[in-house]
Amino acid sequence: MDSVRVEQGGISDYDALARYHYRSGRPAVPAAVLRAVCGGATVGVVVIAMPVLNGPWRTRAWPGWLDGLDKRSSADAINAHVRTIARLVVAPPFRSRGVGCALVRAYLAAPLSRRTEALAAMGEICPVFERAGMRRIDCPLSGAGRRLVRALGAAGVRPWMLADRRTRRRVARCAQVERALRSLAAERWRSAADAAPQELVERLWVHAASRPVAFVAG
């Protein structure tokens, strides 16, 4: 088997592997791309992008960094000093072989900014960022997230129970859960705000069955 090397890539490398990622669409503002190549084929890619401005994990990741700044100054500091690992994709035949870890380590060896972060919906079961040397930060739930957890609890459902398809179908028929889901959709999945309840429940299972996990470096 040929060895894997990491090199500079382009957004077209991500496009070639995008179907293997659980999130659809490109990152909004790509800043850099690294690709992993084996035998002349791109087998993995990491996309670096500009950060979101309202990351609740930052106060835990870098205590005091943004204290005392007004909204505009805080945004300027975040845009100047933070970049986000927005996508990390590895082709299925090359998973569990350290390709993702190699991509993250290669970026962290020469980052575009002093601070780097990644938000992972699959962070509970995918240790790649920690193995690459990043620190884990458990994210507080948003107001919409807390309301959804309460609605699920009132329906007798814990988030992990959504792994069962019959449970998801039952939850989709619960009016209280639907209202909470639409509130979460307005916050996180604006393109799906008018989706059918069943589609929202399926998105919930993929993206929000557990509390989001952030990983930071710097």
- Domains of the chain (ranges plus CATH)? 4-140 (3.40.630.30), 143-207 (no CATH)
Which secondary structure element, helix H or strand E, spans residue 120, and what is its range?
strand 115-120
What is the token pair recorded at 23? 């999130």
Which distant-in-sequence residues (6+ apart) come within 8 Å of 132 by Cβ? 100, 101, 104, 105, 108
CB-CB contact of 6 with 102 (8 Å): yes
Residues 127-140 have a mean pLDDT of 88
pLDDT score at 205: 61
The pLDDT tens digits of the residues spanning 26-78 come to 888 899 999 999 999 999 999 999 999 888 899 999 999 999 999 999 999 99
For residue 9, what are the β-bridge partners? Answer: none
Which is more confident, 106 or 210?
106
Could you read off the pLDDT of 156-204 as tens digits, one per residue? Answer: 887 667 767 788 888 888 888 888 878 877 766 655 667 787 777 776 6
Distance CA 53, CA 109 (A): 24
Work out the number of other CB atoms within 10 angstroms of the CB of residue 41: 12
Per-residue confidence (pLDDT) for residue 201, from 0 to 100: 76
Contact of 47 with 11, CB cutoff 8 Å: yes
On average, the pLDDT of the chain sits at 85
Are the C-beta atoms of 213 and 198 separated by less than 8 Å?
Answer: no
pLDDT at 132: 95
Residue 151 has pLDDT above 90, yes or no: no
